[in-house]
Amino acid sequence: MKEELYEFLRFNKQEWLLLLLIAGANTGLWMYDITRSPTPIEHPTEYVSEQILDQSVEMPTMKNAKRISAKKHTLQSNSPPPQKSRSKGRNQAMKKRDIPMFEFNPNTISSDSLVLLGVPRKTAETWRKYVHAGGRFYKPDDIQKVFGLKEDQVEVLIPWVRLPVGHNSRKRKNRTEAARSTRSNRIEINTSTAAQWQSLKGIGPYYSQKIVRYRSALGGFSSVLQVKETPHLPDSVFQKVYKKLYLTQMPTPIDINTADYITLVKHPYIHKKQASLIIKYRKQHGGYKNINEILKIRAIDSVFLQKIRPYFYVKGKEMVKR
Amino acid sequence: MFAGKKNLPIFTSEYTILMNTNWKSKPFVRVLLPFVLGLLWREFIPNSGLFIGVSLFSCILGLLLYAIYPFRRHIILGALLMLFFFTVGFFCMKWSTGEEHLNYFIHYCDPALDRAYIARILAVHKKENTTQYEIAVTGVRRDSGSIADLSGRALIYLKGEHNSFFPGDKVAFTTQWRHPAPPPNPRQFDFRKYLRYKNIESVGWVHTNNIELVYRDLFSWRYRSAKARRLCIRLLERYVPSPDALAISKALVLGDKSGIRPEVKTTFANTGAMHILAVSGLHVGIIFLLLRVLLGFFPQFPQYWQQLRGVLIVVGIWTFTFVTGMSTSTIRAATMFSLIATGLQFYRRSDIYNTLSLSALLTLFIEPYALFQTGFQLSYLATVGIVYFYPLFMSFFNHSGWLSRMILSSLLAGISARILSFPLVIYYFHQFSFAFLLSNFIVLPLAFVILILGWGTILIAWISSGISTQLGMILNGTAGLLLQLLHHINHFSYLRISPLCFSPVVLCLLMVSLGLLLLTISYRSKKIFYTLLLLLTGVHLVRHVEHTTLEHSPRLVFYAAKHPIVDLWLDGRLFSRREGYSGREEHYATEGLRAYFGATPIYLTTDSFLTIGERASLHFDWVMYGDQTIVWLKDRTLPVKQATILVIPSREMLEEVNLTEFPLLKNVIVYDYNNNSMPYDNYRLYDANLTFHRVTAKHAVTINLSSL
């Protein structure tokens, strides 16, 4: 037993070297890890640019990766406020100003703010008119387009121009803020608002309104494919978006034994003849025992029953007498 | 677990020297022991001052001895090396804890200032209604200025299924961090501990609108791996029609367990086949075997081909790991098998225990907390069990027929994998199933076939979708067959001992005695054998004492659950009273304690009237036991005057009860889920001896009747 223990504790030279090397390297790595201290960053945009956080992100794919990285590059290249040009600009063009410079979006800035930045009142008005008429700035250099803005003024202003990431795609112009915030998500077809529908590519204010109206008429969709039935919604648009749709909230059904004629007729699936037949049968036979019983009406077939089944049910088992 | 590899040279005479007690060839095994001891020390005695004192003292002692004592100096040096590894283990564990890092993110969190946290996604887990992201926080963004270069892991939850982010992505999100509380009920599953062993301290819910992608590195290995895995999953989804078969083959082939229904999971767990659902050693082992067989067809090839073969096997194993999503368990298994493959290729005499220890050492160096993860423990114990016991058992039998040999080997592999791991299995899962004796015959060959068919389907889909469709149909059938057969085996409920549980003390004693068993066989020493017997008697005694003192002492346990549940342990039997049934939540609350005592409850109903001899009579609303009377107060009904323990279902009702009506009252239990802040002091005025107990959502109450 003693010899065994001795053997247990005996290492040769190579083993010593190897083991110490492994343990030493490991300890060194851990030491490096725990002594690392965080770095405070004064200007948030250096770390994560404001645009990336506040605006929806363009998802990089292999195709547009180059474009995005190029875009990022241009953003970063002018993101920190350059001290030199600031003082230089002050000396040359805007000596009288006491207000410090600030970052601005040339597409949304008001004329008063432009005056604060040192732009002459008249040129500022021209600027606003240009934007109001549909003019857009896609890159910082574009502000040269403003009539009456002098070259040295442009030079001073360019470092302060901030444009959101997706600013150069014209398609997103009409989108609402809500739509932008949910852009990357899928759509729950029964609870999402018109604005949320607009976040899908291919659906604008018109189609979203149509879909929401049809949904409220139905009382809610019972399957994703039902969206296709929306009047005026082309099949091509549906094919484009249907992968992003999903359904969790089923429509709340109506008791067919208490529903009146108007409720039935308002439902898109039920014609007024069918509605009156359903009501008549109910009056004659004293209420449906279950929903399948409407098949006993001659004019109603099983296809119709399948269609309306998610929207109607028979409450309890007792019959309603009328 | 590793029966698939039975024909490998690892288990033939060339590789395994039976009962090898030669320590010379196992430097890593020897060093692993003090290292693990160091890790354990840190976990159970976290005081570093004490540790440094002890290790410094022994270090100085060793050096002094080295200076004074002239003989056997290399042994003293060896002991010092062991001490060094012991220390390294301690500090590895210490420094792996997030708090020890200077840049741990919780130190810099300020809910008032923080606008967004920046983090890198490490892993994605899809649960029933939520998506969980395991993340490494790298920065905090504020209006005034950001902090970068932070460290520390966390878990964030998103509602619903969420597919936008991949591992490796950098995301920005807002959340309120919270630190999970210890479990409210006795012996309930400890989520906090579970997270701690994953090195996570904080969790947060994130609304889907409050999380956004900041940066995606298209060429990072994490992203590529997740993408490749998703592609393979899509292909399988296209060719395998039935949902259950698809879920099983996804789990087996690609390690994606998200689609498996809970019932199917229970079936697998009950029949002892759970290990094939998690991609781990078994799968990497099968791939390893497959590659060895495939590449072994050309023995007449020149020398460099033989060398290349080893490299190809390692590359193949890591490709498999890459495609299955690079989970911790797969990486661990891949490390193990690439070391084995390298050993086989270049150092034919290398020792398997040494290789195993090296892989364990590397894993623990990088992530010390892995030592406490169930997967790590079970897979290493099972592997060591197979490596040690399987050749030993096989040497007892001398069958020449291939069928009998196959049956025997599959049986013996199953048994030897469980010899070392069974105490842990019982400790964690509260049951032990002998069904593996049956299911091994089915599971192992079918898992092999499913793995091959699955990869065939995926790979051939690039060439011809027609063949893939056919293969997918066969795969569908095979997975369906596996499930069917396991369902049948699941019906033999007598093969399953459940509920069954060990206390930590018993677990430790059993593990030590298993270690002694290995030593007894290796050294053929009688002394160790007698020690082992003594220890086993000790285990038995401890279990006996635990059960007589705890099980037979009459107790009431008021669980903290959605609906009031009370367990009454009277005369070694368990009665349970519940109002309403909250399904899984009730199961989670009560399962731990009930399994610990191995009891199945008898539920009291509103019309039940039970008596235990003359000592006790039980009703739904009142229970008499000895001189104690327990009364449940219901909607101001007529109270039982001789009540000694009164249970009041809500805090409001306490206001309406006149406690002076109960002259014998000693204890009052109040359900206070709304966490009402009204003071209890007024009620003490009635009687100074009256004790109030509050059952809240975070606090269960246990009352020992014998001590009253």
* Residue A208 to residue B39: CA distance in whole angstroms: 60
B314: in domain: no
Specify whether B683 is located in the same domain as B574.
yes
Residue A205 burial (C-beta neighbours within 10 Å; 0-12, 13-18, 19+): middle
Question: Which residues pair with residue B617 across a beta bridge?
Answer: B611, B624
b (16+ CB within 10 A) / e for B4-36: bbbebebbeeebbeeeeeebeebbbbbbbebbb
* Residue B692 to residue B702: CA distance in whole angstroms: 12
Specify whether B110 is located in the same domain as B42.
no
Disruptive mutation site among B95, B351, B530 for chain A (greatest number of A CBs within 10 Å): B95
Please give the pLDDT value at position B32.
94
B529: in domain: yes
To which residue do tokens 């520390």 refer? B152
Disruptive mutation site among B19, B22, B23 for chain A (greatest number of A CBs within 10 Å): B23
Say if residue A301's pLDDT is above 50: yes
B280: in domain: no
Among B residues 191-210, those touching chain A with beta carbons less than 8 Å apart: 208-209
Quote the domain boundaries for residue B466. Answer: 222-272+435-500
* Residue B350 to residue B25: CA distance in whole angstroms: 8
Say if residue A198's pLDDT is above 70: yes
pLDDT digit string (tens) for B136-147? 999 888 877 788
Please give the pLDDT value at position B678.
60
Specify whether B602 is located in the same domain as B655.
yes
Please give the pLDDT value at position B347.
62
Q: Which two tokens stand for residue A227?
A: 């969206």
Please give the pLDDT value at position B659.
78
Angle at Cα B92 formed by Cα B90 and Cα B95, nearest 5°?
105
In the three-class reduction of DSSP (H, G, I as helix; E, B as strand; rest coil), residue B500 is classed as: coil
Please confirm whether the linkage preceding B499 is cis (ω < 30° from 0).
yes
Specify whether B642 is located in the same domain as B515.
no
Disruptive mutation site among B161, B358, B365 for chain A (greatest number of A CBs within 10 Å): B365
pLDDT band at A46 (very low <50, low <70, confident <90, very high): very low
Pick from B165, B92, B101: nearest CA to B134:
B165
Specify whether B60 is located in the same domain as B110.
no
pLDDT digit string (tens) for A258-289? 888 888 888 988 988 889 888 888 888 888 88
Q: Which residues of A touch B31 (CB under 8 A)?
A: 19
Specify whether B483 is located in the same domain as B588.
no
To which residue do tokens 């020390």 refer? B41
pLDDT digit string (tens) for B248-280? 999 988 888 888 888 899 899 888 888 888 777
Between B607 and B242, where is the model more confident?
B242
pLDDT digit string (tens) for B387-405? 889 888 888 887 678 888 8
Average pLDDT over residues A6-32: 89
Residue type, A90: R
Say if residue A125's pLDDT is above 90: no
For chain B, the farthest-separated pair of C-alpha atoms sits apart, in whole angstroms, at 98
Percentage helix, strand, coil, to 5, in chain A?
55, 5, 40
Please give the pLDDT value at position A78.
43
Residue B127: C-alpha distances to residues B131, B249, B336, B587 (Å): 6, 18, 30, 18
Say if residue A85's pLDDT is above 80: no
Please give the pLDDT value at position A82.
41
Partner A contacted by B502 (CB < 8 A): no
Please give the pLDDT value at position A44.
54
Please give the pLDDT value at position A111.
78
Q: Which stretch of A51-55, A242-246, A314-318, B432-436 has the lowest confidence by average pLDDT? A: A51-55
Specify whether B696 is located in the same domain as B562.
yes
Please give the pLDDT value at position B3.
40
Question: Which residues pair with residue A188 across a beta bridge?
Answer: A246
Average pLDDT over residues B468-487: 93
Specify whether B118 is located in the same domain as B208.
yes
Say if residue B294's pLDDT is above 70: yes
B354: in domain: no
Please give the pLDDT value at position B420.
94
Most confident of B360-364, B521-525, B544-548: B360-364
Please give the pLDDT value at position B8.
43
Residues in CB range of B161: below 8 A, 6 or more apart: B126, B131
Residue type, B197: Y
ipTM over 0.90: no
Average pLDDT over residues B530-536: 95
Specify whether B690 is located in the same domain as B570.
yes
Average pLDDT over residues A57-72: 45
Closest CA–CA distance from residue A39 to any residue of chain B (Å) = 5
Please give the pLDDT value at position B82.
93
Task: Evaluate whether A212 touches A194 at the Cβ level (below 8 Å).
Answer: yes
Q: What percent of chain B stands above pLDDT 70?
A: 93
* A263 backbone dihedrals φ, ψ, rounded to 5°: -60, -45
Say if residue A90's pLDDT is above 70: no
Distance linking the first and last C-alpha atoms of chain A: 99
Closest CA–CA distance from residue A62 to any residue of chain B (Å) = 8
Nearest beta carbon to residue B84 from set A23, A37, A47: A23
The set of long-range contacts for B516-523, using a CB threshold of 8 Å and a minimum separation of 24, is: B518/B388, B521/B19, B521/B392, B522/B19, B522/B20, B522/B21, B523/A4, B523/B21
pLDDT digit string (tens) for A226-258? 888 898 898 888 888 888 888 887 888 888 888
Q: Which stretch of A32-46, B109-123, B433-447, B454-468 has the lowest confidence by average pLDDT? A: A32-46
Please give the pLDDT value at position A73.
47
pLDDT digit string (tens) for B40-96? 999 999 888 999 999 999 999 999 999 998 888 888 999 999 999 999 999 999 999
B195: in domain: yes
Q: Which residues of B touch A4 (CB under 8 A)?
A: 21, 23, 523
Specify whether B122 is located in the same domain as B211.
yes
Q: Which two tokens stand for residue B264?
A: 């199917």
Q: Which stretch of A97-111, A292-306, B516-530, B545-559 has the lowest confidence by average pLDDT? A: A97-111
* A171 backbone dihedrals φ, ψ, rounded to 5°: -65, -30
Residue B617 DSSP label = E
pLDDT band at B552 (very low <50, low <70, confident <90, very high): low
Q: How many domains does chain B have?
A: 5
B453: in domain: yes
The set of long-range contacts for B186-193, using a CB threshold of 8 Å and a minimum separation of 24, is: B186/B557, B186/B592, B186/B593, B186/B700, B186/B702, B187/B592, B187/B593, B187/B595, B187/B596, B188/B588, B188/B589, B188/B591, B188/B592, B188/B593, B189/B588, B189/B591, B189/B592
Domain A254-313 of CATH type 1.10.150.280: yes
Average pLDDT over residues B589-595: 85
Q: Which stretch of A29-33, A206-210, B550-554 has the lowest confidence by average pLDDT? A: B550-554
Contact assignment for B147 to A56 by CB distance below 8 Å: no
Nearest beta carbon to residue B23 from set A7, A16, A184: A7
Boundaries of every domain in chain A: 71-168, 171-246, 254-313
Residue type, B511: M
Average pLDDT over residues B304-328: 85
Among chain B residues, CA nearest to A26? B365
Specify whether B116 is located in the same domain as B171.
yes
CATH pick for A71-168 out of 3.40.190, 1.25.40, 2.60.40, 1.10.150: 1.10.150
Partner A contacted by B147 (CB < 8 A): yes
Specify whether B92 is located in the same domain as B228.
no
Q: Which two tokens stand for residue B587?
A: 């199961």
Q: What percent of chain B stands above pLDDT 90?
A: 30
Domain A171-246 of CATH type 3.50.50.60: no
Please give the pLDDT value at position A25.
93
B358: in domain: no
Residue A147 burial (C-beta neighbours within 10 Å; 0-12, 13-18, 19+): exposed
Contact assignment for A48 to B142 by CB distance below 8 Å: no
Between B178 and A138, where is the model more confident?
B178
* Residue B157 to residue B200: CA distance in whole angstroms: 14
B286: in domain: no
Contact assignment for B164 to A6 by CB distance below 8 Å: no
**β-strands A254-255, A312-313 pairing:** parallel
Say if residue A102's pLDDT is above 80: no
* Residue A145 to residue B468: CA distance in whole angstroms: 60
Is there a shared CATH topology between the A71-168 domain and the A171-246 domain?
Answer: yes
Q: Which helix (DSSP H) or strand (DSSP E) does residue A40 occupy? A: strand A39-41
Contact assignment for A40 to B145 by CB distance below 8 Å: yes
Task: Evaluate whether A127 touches A110 at the Cβ level (below 8 Å).
Answer: no
pLDDT band at A64 (very low <50, low <70, confident <90, very high): very low
Average pLDDT over residues A147-175: 69
Residues in CB range of B260: below 8 A, 6 or more apart: B247, B248, B251, B277
Contact assignment for A41 to B95 by CB distance below 8 Å: no
In the three-class reduction of DSSP (H, G, I as helix; E, B as strand; rest coil), residue B17 is classed as: coil
From B551, B566, B588, the end of a domain falls on: B551
